[in-house]
Amino acid sequence: ADTKVYRASTFAPVNIAVIKYWGKRDAKLNLPTNSSLSVTLSQDDLRTHTTASCSPAYQSDSLLLNGASQDISGARTQACLRELRSLRKTLEDSDSSLSPLSTYPLEIVSQNNFPTAAGLASSAAGFAALVRAIANLYQLKSTPTELSRIARQGSGSACRSLFGGYVAWEMGKEEDGSDSVAYEVAPASHWPEMRAIILVASAEKKDVSSTSGMQATVKTSTLFNERITNTVPKRMEEMKKAIAERDFASFAALTTKDSNSFHATCLDTDPPIFYMNDTSRAAIAMVEAINANAGKTIAAYTFDAGPNAVVYYLAEHETSVLAPFKAILQAKDGWEGARGQSVTSSPLPA
């Protein structure tokens, strides 16, 4: 019997949105209620490494994350596997010299180089890596945008981790999600001075998952409708312009306002959702103080569905921005992980 093992590996980086995705119009396909825009961090810093293999000798599909076996029966993971297998099947049908990899069980082995439970957008890098590793294994000809349509079904934000630099996820109009895909707005090289620091306020798992939080906000928040119809569409255009012009003050104003708008709709959810805590608010006050002290905007904060702050700044202001944070971070103990309490990063080079 054929016991050959076919294998491919890839890395995918974390991305942090500056215009947030919050709300699904279709929960099954992960179709969003608004477009979003993110910065992909360097994969030297935060990334998932995934090896996908398949073999007729394997018993069933499996996924190992950081050495622990994961449940892959969930609809999201299954949707990704189904789509990738069907693309491979199309290739096999058109070329009889290809081995029937689409029929073999898959073994996926993933490793994050950062604490998975720390709320550091691990699902984005995770699904992007999973989709690309299998696409490589299957030798699919798909473009990153085509793969983003598949990764989106694993975790919405994952569609943006298939690109480096500045990435937009267009919400799309189609019911089947065929136009709800990510594309590159600008490569990292367009604005090489951009930096990010992640301040780990808590390494605990978030208590309201992004999926259930979004559903509750869509259902109960009245602020939310204003956000998706007026606020975000306008900001998407302004953010693309700020990036095109390398206008940090505008980039920063839009980033912090959009984070606060997203967290405001969380507070406006019934029952209210609090992702930020006292440490998060202290980080906001610190960024305000840094900017006031500089006499101009040199730092911008943003928070995802958790208390950790991501602060964007330009390399020339590294000392002014990082020094005040180092002082608070060192005052605390009990932090875990090789990188301690914070992680600095630059956008992924294209």
112 is a site residue for ligand PMV (CB under 6 A): no
> What does the CA dihedral 187, 162, 56, 101 come to, rounded to 10 degrees?
-70
Size, binding site for ligand PMV by CB under 6 A: 14
Token pair 């499996």: residue: 62
Q: For ligand PMV, which is the closer residue by CB, 43 or 155?
A: 155
Which one among 156, 165, 172, 347 touches ligand PMV, defined by CB under 6 A? 156
Pairing between β-strand 31-32 and β-strand 24-26 as defined by DSSP bridges: antiparallel
Structure tokens at 64: 């190992």
Which lies closer to ligand PMV via its Cβ, residue 36 or residue 345? Answer: 36
**Per-residue interface string for the shown chain with ligand PMV, residues 184-213, x marking contact by CB under 6 A:** --------------------------xx--
Tell me which of 10, 34, 36, 43 binds ligand PMV, using CB under 6 A: 36
Angle CA(143)–CA(149)–CA(150) in degrees, nearest 5? 95
**Nearest Cα to 30, choosing from 160, 173, 151, 144?**
151
d(CA 196, CA 315) in angstroms, rounded, equals 9
**Minimum distance, C-beta of residue 154 to ligand PMV, in the bound complex (Å):** 9
Options 10, 20, 77, 119; binder of ligand PMV; rule CB under 6 A: 20
**Stretch in the footprint of ligand PMV (CB under 6 A) among 15-23, 68-76, 110-118, 139-147:** 15-23
Helix axes of 278-294 and 318-330: crossing angle, nearest 10 degrees: 150
Q: How far is the CB of 40 from ligand PMV (least distance, A)?
A: 12
- Hey, which residues between 307 and 336 contact ligand PMV (CB under 6 A)? none
With CA atoms as reference, report the closest residue to 298 among 289, 285, 308: 289
Span from 19-27, 57-65, 99-107, 185-193 in contact with ligand PMV (CB under 6 A): 19-27
Scan for tokens 């349509």, then name that residue.
149
Q: How far is the CB of 140 from ligand PMV (least distance, A)?
A: 23
Q: Which of 80, 130, 182, 305 binds ligand PMV (CB under 6 A)?
A: 305
157 binds ligand PMV (CB under 6 A): yes
Does the footprint of ligand PMV cover residue 304 (CB under 6 A)? yes
The 58-97 site mask, x for binding ligand PMV (CB under 6 A), equals: ----------------------------------------
CB of 209 to ligand PMV, least distance (A): 8
- Strand order, beta sheet including 68-70: 6-13, 47-54, 106-112, 62-65, 68-70
Neighbours of 58 (CB within 10 A): 15
Minimum CB distance to ligand PMV, residue 98 (Å): 33
The Cα–Cα gap between 347 and 73 comes to: 34
Label residue 272 exposed, middle or buried (CB < 10 Å: 0-12, 13-18, 19+).
exposed
Nearer to ligand PMV, 10 or 38 (CB): 38
Residue 323: burial class (beta carbons within 10 Å; 0-12, 13-18, 19+):
exposed
Residues that bind ligand PMV (CB under 6 A): 17, 20-22, 36, 123-124, 155-157, 210-211, 304-305
